[in-house]
A and B are shown apart, each in its own frame.
Chain A
């Protein structure tokens, strides 16, 4: 007999343990600023959401396909443009694709066989609504309903672990991390020199209040460390409340011990977006290098919804295809990922981390009249890291076999990418999480 989620929660309410965002490292080397010893069994996964619908055809460019040029006479790259700002070709060897010229850093990782590109990732009967399609990708369910796919993983694997074993960095918790049993925190970046400042127990910021801060903290700790009956709501509230303050303080103390192993972009260079995206990855690096349980992370880059002026800037009258809104975002992605990768390498952690990008859809092959593109369907996903077998996976959709809306037809179910990562990297049973068996794409062995 089916039990729905609400009934499950109700029936088990007395037994549900409160999830604690409590890093268990106060006695560890980390708390003493000595870093975590290398551990080959650590499997860390970082999701990078390209929000708004990334133009896959101008990201992994099928530059030898004449239909690409004819569908995109204005925004399509010509062969001679396919080189990065240092003049290095972004063409992917002998394959008929090139990366967007803004992605020189990612190209260098690709050449080092650290990047798998899953071509044509999408799903049957694509939904062109941003939100609905995001829900589909985030729940791995074409109804868009239920908890997130990594939330389901967390329910299976992270129950009882440190509450910072999964963390989203951004303005709000993404649906991918919605779980039924585990609660995953979202940390809003504060910017500046203390990016974790918002993830703290705050007191009166006025001068008098700051002087009174210790009294406030002592009062808080005293009232929330009282004993209450076991299995009572008030007991759970006091424990979680106490741990919230302690955990946040411990987190900040721990991440303060971190020293970056690479130079992250600053001063709005190459763009404010690149700086904020790289800063989010830097926060991830801070947690990875200080929290032994660190396992899942989520960062976002956007907005890719380039219905107009996808290419060019004011100064070139919106004609320079190597500049413009899309190039700025892809540069942010490429530079951020490479800097983060270099930082992990310097900390001896690059073998422990796999990154994956996704976007709710690609964009229409045929450009519109505004130097932009409208909502499309399938697009490529990047899977990045030392554990990855680099190269091309999946299959490029045809530019002549389009659906009734003029969009390409997906070739690989995006859940195959998820399944490959769940089974081959996270040590999970993908079928129990995704509800069905999907192909192993082979980019992880």
Chain B
């Protein structure tokens, strides 16, 4: 069994989650590479009652028609609360992966369906891919989002049939061979297979096939003829090697490093896609293979991605051991804070509101002066919020003080370790900050309360403004 160093464990929990405290990282490290991954992906075995208690105390989703307690803002607050408070970090991260993959937006789909889709993605995040795809395809959110409810016999709507192939399963071209995966005729024929797929308009909004609107004729799909149903199409696509390669490619880009079209990278994709094909389309075995691979722990992978906004805001709280008090609609008067969702949105990632069906663009797409200003100002708000009673995001003076050391150098190192661990040549500059007074004069650093409240808050803000911190 391969060992797992502290830095490797920190990398693992940043990617398979949002980042950990030193205690969490030490625990993962002690389990070894395979053991740590096994622990993270078997998240159902991790006790999560503390998060459930927080959710119960903070949200009232008992009546999804109650617009005061269940709405656009509340579903976002709910998900960010989960991401910060869960003990099952990979469960939330995988849900985020699927939300981006099956990108559906509240710009068109009602909140109740967005929420139910999110619950569905979470519950099936490591299922057999065929099963997940079928459930998502038969769920109200997707049926509405890609207009399948108007896809009827004689008047097919190709929206779902096209994106199913282009974005959810194979891509236009095979990511390994470059071959075209399907034709425009396939799009038309696949659309016919999904005619009549609809949902019941009353809770629990279950799937229903409107038989009279379903096209029972013979379809020709990928050169095969038959009276294919939508279920048949999903089974056929889920078994195609192009599908396995596309999913592997997306997972590498999301979890490991940006893929290129080099021979090395296409060969890597091909190799990992076989894990999917040889394990009955198991998502769980594919992610296990990826997170235990040498590629994942290669120097190429470390800090090779730009942090997604959701990763940044949640990670800032989790890694530092800070606090997000989401507030509550259960208590009276209800007072809540949706600051994490709002900050993430301002940085370019509005959860439940991806820009379009292809999801978010990553890495350089997050990098522009307006969004970076949001990142810097989020860090400032987080570090300088001294109100520890109201809903919001904050870190207490005691929490900060416990991380300090008597020497400025060790203090800077300690915080860099906490927030990554980050490797940077800016250590000297940060140390100088701690040793500079209000008028620019040199001062001696002491970790007393006044210094913690001013300089340590400033130091952590400055670390969160480092370009190194923007990477994952």
Binding site for B on A (CB under 8 A): 1-7, 9-11, 13, 16, 18-22, 129, 131-132, 135, 143-146, 163, 172, 178, 183-186, 199-206, 208-209, 211-212, 214-216, 218-220, 222-224, 226, 228, 233-238, 240-241, 243-245, 247-248
How distant is B182 from chain A, measured CB to nearest CB, in Å?
Answer: 12
Q: Select A212's contact among B386, B424, B429, B455, beta carbons within 8 Å.
A: B455
- Say yes or no: A216-B461 contact (C-beta < 8 A), given A1-B180, A248-B373: yes
* In the complex, B262 has a CB within 8 A of chain A: no
Binding site for A on B (CB under 8 A): 107-108, 159, 166-167, 171-173, 180, 253, 258-259, 261, 303-306, 345-346, 355-359, 361, 363-365, 367-373, 376-377, 380-381, 383-384, 386, 424-426, 429-430, 432-433, 436, 438, 440, 450, 453-455, 457-458, 461-462, 465-468, 470-471
A2 to B181 Cα, complex, angstroms = 12
Q: List 19 A-B contacts (CB under 8 A).
A: A10-B258, A19-B368, A20-B369, A129-B108, A143-B159, A144-B107, A144-B108, A186-B370, A202-B380, A204-B454, A206-B454, A215-B458, A219-B462, A222-B426, A223-B429, A224-B466, A228-B467, A234-B471, A236-B367
Q: Are B466 and A223 in contact (CB-based, < 8 A)?
A: yes
Per CB-CB distance, the 8 closest pairs between chain A and chain B, nearest first, are A183-B368, A185-B370, A21-B369, A244-B369, A237-B467, A211-B438, A238-B467, A208-B454
Q: Are B454 and A209 in contact (CB-based, < 8 A)?
A: yes
Q: Are B108 and A131 in contact (CB-based, < 8 A)?
A: yes
Q: Select A201's contact among B356, B373, B429, B454, beta carbons within 8 Å.
A: B373
- Other than the given A5-B358, A215-B458, 14 more pairs (CB < 8 A) read A4-B167, A9-B361, A18-B368, A20-B368, A208-B454, A209-B384, A209-B457, A215-B436, A223-B426, A223-B462, A223-B467, A236-B364, A237-B372, A244-B369
Most buried by A among B159, B364, B461: B364
Chain A residues lying within 8 Å of B461, measured Cβ to Cβ, are 203-204, 216
Most buried by A among B368, B425, B432: B368
- Say yes or no: A1-B172 contact (C-beta < 8 A), given A18-B367, A220-B462: yes
Chain B residues lying within 8 Å of A212, measured Cβ to Cβ, are 438, 454-455, 458
Q: Are A146 and B429 in contact (CB-based, < 8 A)?
A: no
- Say yes or no: A16-B361 contact (C-beta < 8 A), given A1-B173, A131-B108: no
Chain B residues lying within 8 Å of A172, measured Cβ to Cβ, are 345-346
A223 to B369 Cα, complex, angstroms = 16
Chain A residues lying within 8 Å of B173, measured Cβ to Cβ, are 1
Q: Are B355 and A178 in contact (CB-based, < 8 A)?
A: yes
Q: Select B370's contact among A21, A132, A202, A209, beta carbons within 8 Å.
A: A21
Chain B residues lying within 8 Å of A204, measured Cβ to Cβ, are 380, 383-384, 454, 457-458, 461
What residue of chain A has the Cβ atom nearest to residue B386's Cβ?
A206
How distant is A58 from chain B, measured CB to nearest CB, in Å?
Answer: 28
A185 to B173 Cα, complex, angstroms = 34
Q: Are B356 and A145 in contact (CB-based, < 8 A)?
A: yes
What residue of chain B has the Cβ atom nearest to residue A168's Cβ?
B370
Q: Are A206 and B370 in contact (CB-based, < 8 A)?
A: no
